[in-house]
Structure 1
Amino acid sequence: MGLDIKYCQSRGKIILLSIGGATAQLNSDAATFSQQVWDLFMEGSSPYRPFDDAIIDGVDLDFEQSSQMDIIQFANNMNQFYKSGKHKYYITAAPQCPYPDANLGNLLSQAHIDMAFIQFYNSGWCDNSKYGLPHWPESMNYYMWDAAWHNNSFANPNIKLYVGAMAGTGAGNPGSYVGPDFFANELKELQGNYSDSFGGAMMWDMSWAR
């Protein structure tokens, strides 16, 4: 894995460690856990580094339930570690599309997050499968995220917002899936309408892509 990580980075790819998930709970305190992540995966020191001397480029926070760990403090701690490092690091988050996200909304407003990979799937009314219906823009609420961006509702005023989609019908609720042509047209229109906040696309996950 370490060699693979370094190869991908040599090709300009950013490698992030995703923390959380649909049912994840973390009981660690933020100070201990942030130190462990820094030591195991970044420029810290540990005899147990799973990727040997490979250094990843940051962490992605995907908490779809409330976490017992203070994720805001964790993110702030990681940003402090980043300042002492020699590499460029990132913190990203993967909120669900209802704005504000129930579990990551406070994180986005109180900690510096570089990118938000918004899950416009498995969330019902704001899935991107609703995009383009007669009641647009209410059907897909990217406009609400863009409004928050322009209203300086995020701790990082330059955060970039990514539109997340399912890479295949098996990646989640099949009703949330949109095909590649539909998604490409959606992204093109969103980029044109919201060029300040728009960052690009996220797909979950590429193992489902065909």
Structure 2
Amino acid sequence: MVSGRSSYAAALGLSVLASSLLSVRAYDNSRSDNVRIYWGQNSYGATGSNTADYQKNLSYYCQDDVINAFPLAFLNVFFGEGGEPSLDLANICSTANDPVFEGTQLPECSFMASNIQTCQNAGKIVTISLGGATGSAGFSNASQAEGFANTIWNLFLGGSSSTRPFGDAVLDGVDLDIEGGSTEYFTNFVSTLRSLMNSGSKSVIDAESFDAVYVQFCEHTEHPYNNYCGLTNYDNSNDWDFSTWDNWAKNTSPNPNVKVYIGAPAASAAAGSGYVDAATLGQIAVDTRNSYSSFGGIMLWDASQAYANDRFDAAVKSSITENGNTAPAPSTTYSSATSTATATPTTAPAPSTTSTPAAPSSSPTGSAGDCAGVATWVANVAYEGGDQVVYNGNLYTAKWWSYADTPGGSAGDWTEDGACGASSDATAVKVAYQSKVAPTNVGPKVAAVPNLSLSSALAAQTAPPSRRNSRFFRY
């Protein structure tokens, strides 16, 4: 499957499944009580001290019927040493702790083959997630994108290569979490991969056909890129726009059977904000399913957090299953005016749960060009929308959540407010919120919380939902 998640940056999770494979496995994409959960980044290890709850081998999470799908996070480098991609699966397999194929930085994780196959034999699907918050993603032209699709096919799916990271295990699809770099030519990547899947033994957002979309909802239109922010405002119709995505699924998506998932953190420590307990999330899911036939289930970040949080995944699954997975909700009709909206969700990185170095607690109150009391920009600090920094003598304001994107750079994360006055005093301000820092070799290796939305470059192909406060999750 090719999946894409809607992070707030391609944190839109999109999912393309191998149709021939699904016919012989228990996974059923047409259901409305599926649970998909990310595995690979040991998110609990970033915030918790109990080593017993650190991420386990994949098969550990496949011993019951709760979880239906696992995106393996992440393939975080597209073109590395030797022209090959690279993987980082935190404390399980990475370049820091495992051997690599000669002439590359692609870790040799073939010991995971039996784990993957165990989960697949139990009726789960396992996909490879591309990108992540620290991922280096992007293509310079259509030919490179199409070539990379063949690389992914040969390394992880139905092709062949002498450098397959997971040995003889054949994954079920691809998850897109493109939070950094350019999203140009991703439609070429997806269409080529879909062709390979359809022609093989296994089988962008608007331009290509996906099987599932993971959506994250944001309640603050002035800060539309804060992760997991909409669930707490579910009762406010202005902040909960699942109908927009239901409309997209029925009137815009090339796949009329696409499923839309609600993305959520599996523990309060798994995201900066927006966590709701399992009972509340389950009720939101049931209410949404009863209203919209495109609803497919719940997507969670991540497996280690869910298990440490009293099996949050199992509690949610129980809620959406016990309340009945009956006939789909009545079909909803949308006016042409609604279905032809042209604005697209803007994408931007989502905050991680890795560590907590210094970062401004709030935006300074100085006017444009007034740098008094404003901190100098620091590369390894995560900034929120509205935060101000000084860089090269100029004042900048963050448009949204930003990490490691230089003010004035091509990423476009910052608005330049003018040159600082001669009397400016760029002093540091107190530590207040979590920021994302590259993992160290001390303690568990972790990575950032994935984003949940699709990139504007992909989304612009046919105009997905126009509400700025929506975000996609992947798959």
Q: Same fold (TM over 0.5)?
A: yes
Q: Go from structure 1 to structure 2 and tell me whether the alpha carbon gap of 1:125 and 1:165 turns closer, same or farther (over 3 Å shift).
A: closer
* Alignment root-mean-square deviation, CA: 1.9
SS of equivalent residue, structure 2 residue 171: coil
CA drift of 1:23 comes to 4.2
1:65-84 → structure 2 map (5 Å cutoff): 65=180, 67=182, 70-84=185-199
Q: Go from structure 1 to structure 2 and tell me whether the alpha carbon gap of 1:172 and 1:161 turns closer, same or farther (over 3 Å shift).
A: same
Task: Report if aligned partners of 1:115, 1:162 keep a CA contact under 8 Å in 2.
Answer: yes
Mapped to 2, the partners of 1:125 and 1:33 lie a distance apart of: 31
* Equivalent AA in structure 1 for residue 231 of structure 2: N
User: May I ask how many residue pairs the two structures share in their alignment?
Assistant: 186
* Equivalent AA in structure 1 for residue 244 of structure 2: M
Q: In the alignment, which residue of structure 2 is the partner of 1:118? A: 215
Task: Report if aligned partners of 2:265, 2:302 keep a CA contact under 8 Å in 1.
Answer: yes
Larger radius of gyration: 2
Deviations 1:143-191 (A, max 9, x none): 11112223x2112221100100001112111x21111010011001000
Task: Report if aligned partners of 2:229, 2:274 keep a CA contact under 8 Å in 1.
Answer: no
Mapped to 2, the partners of 1:24 and 1:139 lie a distance apart of: 30
Q: In the alignment, which residue of structure 1 is the partner of 2:231? A: 128
Mapped to 2, the partners of 1:23 and 1:68 lie a distance apart of: 15
* Equivalent AA in structure 2 for residue 131 of structure 1: Y
* Equivalent AA in structure 2 for residue 170 of structure 1: A
Q: Go from structure 1 to structure 2 and tell me whether the alpha carbon gap of 1:35 and 1:131 turns closer, same or farther (over 3 Å shift).
A: same
Q: Go from structure 1 to structure 2 and tell me whether the alpha carbon gap of 1:155 and 1:126 turns closer, same or farther (over 3 Å shift).
A: farther
* Equivalent AA in structure 2 for residue 114 of structure 1: D
SS of equivalent residue, structure 1 residue 53: coil
Q: In the alignment, which residue of structure 2 is the partner of 1:165? A: 264
Q: Go from structure 1 to structure 2 and tell me whether the alpha carbon gap of 1:118 and 1:7 turns closer, same or farther (over 3 Å shift).
A: same
Mapped to 2, the partners of 1:109 and 1:19 lie a distance apart of: 19
SS of equivalent residue, structure 1 residue 137: coil
Q: In the alignment, which residue of structure 2 is the partner of 1:192? A: 290
Q: Go from structure 1 to structure 2 and tell me whether the alpha carbon gap of 1:63 and 1:145 turns closer, same or farther (over 3 Å shift).
A: same
Mapped to 2, the partners of 1:117 and 1:63 lie a distance apart of: 13
SS of equivalent residue, structure 1 residue 176: coil
Q: Which runs of 4+ in 1 moved over 6 A?
A: none
Q: In the alignment, which residue of structure 2 is the partner of 1:97? A: none
Mapped to 1, the partners of 2:136 and 2:229 lie a distance apart of: 26
* Equivalent AA in structure 2 for residue 58 of structure 1: G
* Equivalent AA in structure 1 for residue 303 of structure 2: M
> 5+ residue gaps in structure 2?
1-111, 219-224, 310-475
* Equivalent AA in structure 1 for residue 302 of structure 2: D
Task: Report if aligned partners of 2:129, 2:174 keep a CA contact under 8 Å in 1.
Answer: yes
Task: Report if aligned partners of 2:217, 2:228 keep a CA contact under 8 Å in 1.
Answer: no
1:13-32 → structure 2 map (5 Å cutoff): 13-28=124-139, 29-32=144-147
1:1-210 → structure 2 map (5 Å cutoff): 1-28=112-139, 29-65=144-180, 67=182, 70-87=185-202, 89=203, 107-120=204-217, 123=226, 127-132=230-235, 136-150=236-250, 152-173=251-272, 175-194=273-292, 196-209=293-306, 210=309
Mapped to 1, the partners of 2:183 and 2:243 lie a distance apart of: 31
Mapped to 2, the partners of 1:170 and 1:124 lie a distance apart of: 12
Percent identity, please: 35
Deviations 1:17-43 (A, max 9, x none): 011123433244211211110000111
Deviations 1:41-88 (A, max 9, x none): 11111101111111000001112345255211111011000111112x
Q: Go from structure 1 to structure 2 and tell me whether the alpha carbon gap of 1:142 and 1:123 turns closer, same or farther (over 3 Å shift).
A: farther
Tell me the TM-score normalized by structure 1: 0.82
Task: Report if aligned partners of 1:18, 1:59 keep a CA contact under 8 Å in 2.
Answer: yes
Mapped to 1, the partners of 2:290 and 2:261 lie a distance apart of: 14
Task: Report if aligned partners of 1:30, 1:69 keep a CA contact under 8 Å in 2.
Answer: no
Higher helix share: 1
